[in-house]
Amino acid sequence: MANIQRRIPKVRDLAPLMRFKKPTLNFKKRRLQEAYTIYDLREIAKRRTPQAPFDYTDGSAEQEISIQRARQAFEDVEFHPAILRDVSDVDTGWDVLGKRVELPFGIAPTGFTRMMHTEGEIAGAKAAAKAGIPFSLSTMGTTSIEDVAAAAPNGRNWFQLYMWKDRDRSMALVDRAAKAGFDTLLVTVDVPVAGARLRDSRNGMTIPPTLTPKTVINALPRPEWWINFLTTEPLAFASLDRWSGTVGELLDTMFDPTVTFEDLAWIKEQWPGKLVVKGVQSVDDAKRLTNLGVDAILLSNHGGRQLDRAPIPFHLLPDVVREVGKDTEVHVDTGIMSGSDIVASIALGARFTLIGRAYLYGLMAGGQEGVERAIEILRGQIVRTMKLLGARSLEELNPSHVTQLERLVPRPRATA
């Protein structure tokens, strides 16, 4: 081995090799900049949010098997890149329900949102409008239809409807959404009763929140959340009267287990905009809805929050697209935690995807800025994945780019 001659380094030689990071004095900006994935935002959210609202977001029904399987399904994707393509520029947008979106995902409807962060739905609507994607307001939202419209007047706002036993009250909300300029109605059809969300029961997640010594102790190390909660408008569902009880009890009291396809057809006649049916979990139901003339079907098991062990929407996607994709748009949600999950969904035929928890983790991590960071993370992952696959546009993504690896292989089903 040749002798290595050593010398004392000179400052002018070291300077080009060493670059010190400029300090960020804004604590919120710094913590959001240090989040590189949605899971990073989740960890920040968990540190900054008391257990009850965090678990309401993070949890699902019973043993939480459905959400675990949904996420695993996305992890069990094998991509097949095409090489030597000019991917210097990629287009991440296209038309969804007749209007352009800049990214192939939107913000899903979520309830109790101001409990996660005081900016609540306003933060989501503003961030979505800024990004050129739709924002969905839930029937169980904590900001009114009119206030969301005023906060994002140039945004594309959708309204999600739960059909109540009181049909007049349900349709009054639909009428308000239409008058406020909401262009799409998402009718959720997988809640004849509330799912058994055990984390909420154990945490005393009621409306208003039930304070116990454990609740107070858990909130004390999170003063910003506590101050915001106490100094802003008391939490309530903006579309409903005040309620004293658990979320599950509210759902069971309000929601109508007698709703049928005929009721859906009646709703369609009343609504002037686009109609999406959320909560579809079988090919047969997708075909029946397509025959009914809906504008899109949303494959969803409610983020695993209703029936545990429900079908995995991402697994259903290829079969549903094959059966009805030429006649109606197919959208998908549940389990999406990265831009690569979204790209895989588009490649298998989805026209659009919705994110729920991913958006709420950003909200809890930093209000509107946190939501914008979540969108930024997903956008970057979408662009990078498309380039690595050799796809310059969403139209170039196709099933040849994706293999769904099999982990759970069903046995043949018994016939009735």
Show which residues are catalytic. 302
The three-class DSSP label of residue 99 is: strand
What radius of gyration, in Å, describes the C-alpha atoms of the chain? 23
| Element housing 378 (H / E) | helix 357-389
The three-class DSSP label of residue 302 is: helix
Is residue 208 reached through a cis peptide bond, with omega within 30 degrees of 0 on the bond before it?
yes
Task: Check: CB of residue 116 under 8 Å from CB of residue 229.
Answer: no
- CB neighbour list of residue 230: distance below 8 Å, 6 or more residues apart: none
**246 backbone dihedrals φ, ψ, rounded to 5°:** -80, 160
Q: Is 188 left (phi over 0), alpha (psi -120 to 50) or beta?
A: beta
| Largest separation between any pair of C-alpha atoms in the chain | 90
Structure tokens at 101: 């979106």
Burial (0-12, 13-18, 19+ Cβ within 10 Å), 316: buried
Closest CA relative to residue 105, chosen from 117, 92, 114: 92
Long-range contacts for 25-31 (Cβ within 8 Å, ≥24 apart)? 28/366, 28/369, 29/369, 31/365, 31/366
